[in-house]
Amino acid sequence: MRLVGVDMKNEICEIIHNKELTLGVFEMIFRSENIAALAMPGQFVHLRVNTGLYPLLRRPISIHSVDKTKGTVAIIYHIVGKGTEEISKQVTGVIDVMGPLGNGFPKLAGKKCAVVGGGIGVAPLLELSKSLSHCDAYLGFRNCTYKVEAFENSCNKVYLTTEDGSAGHKGYITDQLKKNITEYDVVYTCGPKIMMKKVMEICQLNNVECYVSLEERMACGIGACLVCACKIQEENGEWHHKKVCKDGPVFNAKEVLFDD
């Protein structure tokens, strides 16, 4: 039975591996038959970072891929502070995980799709790209690249850019998307706000449906504390707040207001 809302239970999961892919970016695989069976592309897990009291709050990390046969789940994370640093130190043993949480990407049958990821934002797009019948990937990085091969194995075409030109085209991934946008019915994106805002504008100009995966700081992760509120526009034009953890993290781009 699926556990939802404030009743969501945590699970103690065996860590299978936790390795550095490139400078400061790690992949962890842990065992959870429950999460592997239930997870939908775009959902996330909420991790307790260690057994101590600091940092107290769990950290949300997207589900990168699942292996339902083995009952394992992979996440990719970037060390940006104490929580992610603590997670990176747990090479063996167990980790306390809540999930799968949130609403994933809607899959629209028979559509030509593109996934557009920037940096660590590529992580939640792999499982989605595997589940779509026609999907191209647009992957943008600053300098170090990761998981490009996995996208090559699951997508029709992969467009790669780096800001320093060390791999793929030199420049921004949004410039590549702009050239090909008329080929797509739907675009799914995750990455830095500035990139997602640009993707959203390109889609709007070309009447292409667009879904964005938002990142906000979180506390409970299950809709109980309001820490993750974001501004959403209804069809009647009125603005109000929704919870990224429970109503998202994926939203239709038409609803989202990105602050400048």
Ligand X SMILES: Cc1cc2nc3c(=O)[nH]c(=O)nc-3n(C[C@H](O)[C@H](O)[C@H](O)COP(=O)(O)OP(=O)(O)OC[C@H]3O[C@@H](n4cnc5c(N)ncnc54)[C@H](O)[C@@H]3O)c2cc1C
Whether 162 contacts 168, CB under 8 Å = yes
Smallest separation (angstroms) from ligand X to the CB of 97: 13
Residue 146 interacting with ligand X (CB under 6 A): no
Angle at 77 between CA 128 and CA 141, to 5 degrees: 75
Handedness of CA 16, 74, 78, 146 (dihedral sign): positive
Binding mask 183-222 for ligand FES (x = CB under 6 A): -----------------------------------xxxx-
Residue 189 interacting with ligand X (CB under 6 A): no
Residue 29 interacting with ligand FES (CB under 6 A): no
Q: With contacts defined by CB under 6 A, how many residues of the chain interact with ligand X?
A: 22
Residue 221 binds which entry of ligand FES, ligand X, none, CB below 5-8 Å type-dependent: ligand FES
Smallest separation (angstroms) from ligand FES to the CB of 104: 16
| Cα gap 194→100, rounded to integer Å | 27
Structure tokens at 256: 């989202």
Please give the single-letter amino acid code of residue 71.
G
Whether 161 contacts 170, CB under 8 Å = yes
Minimum CB distance to ligand FES smaller for 198 or for 246:
246
Residue 135 interacting with ligand X (CB under 6 A): no
Residue 80 binds which entry of ligand FES, ligand X, none, CB below 5-8 Å type-dependent: ligand X
C-alpha 244, offset from chain centre: 12
| Cα gap 137→122, rounded to integer Å | 9
| Cα gap 30→183, rounded to integer Å | 37
Structure tokens at 49: 């970072």
Residue 227 binds which entry of ligand X, ligand FES, none, CB below 5-8 Å type-dependent: ligand FES
Minimum CB distance to ligand X smaller for 59 or for 197:
59
Residue 65 interacting with ligand X (CB under 6 A): no
Residue 48 interacting with ligand FES (CB under 6 A): no
DSSP class of residue 215 equals -
- Residue from 129, 244, 127 nearest 193 by CA: 244
Residue 225 interacting with ligand FES (CB under 6 A): yes
Residue 177 interacting with ligand X (CB under 6 A): no
- Residue from 186, 187, 183, 163 nearest 173 by CA: 163
C-alpha 180, offset from chain centre: 23
In the set 18, 65, 72, 84, which binds ligand X (CB under 6 A)? 84
In the set 6, 12, 37, 80, which binds ligand X (CB under 6 A)? 80
| Cα gap 223→28, rounded to integer Å | 26
Where do contacts with ligand X occur on this chain (CB under 6 A)?
A: 44, 55, 59-62, 75-78, 80-84, 120, 123, 215-218, 249
* Interface positions with ligand FES (CB under 6 A): 218-221, 223-228, 243, 245
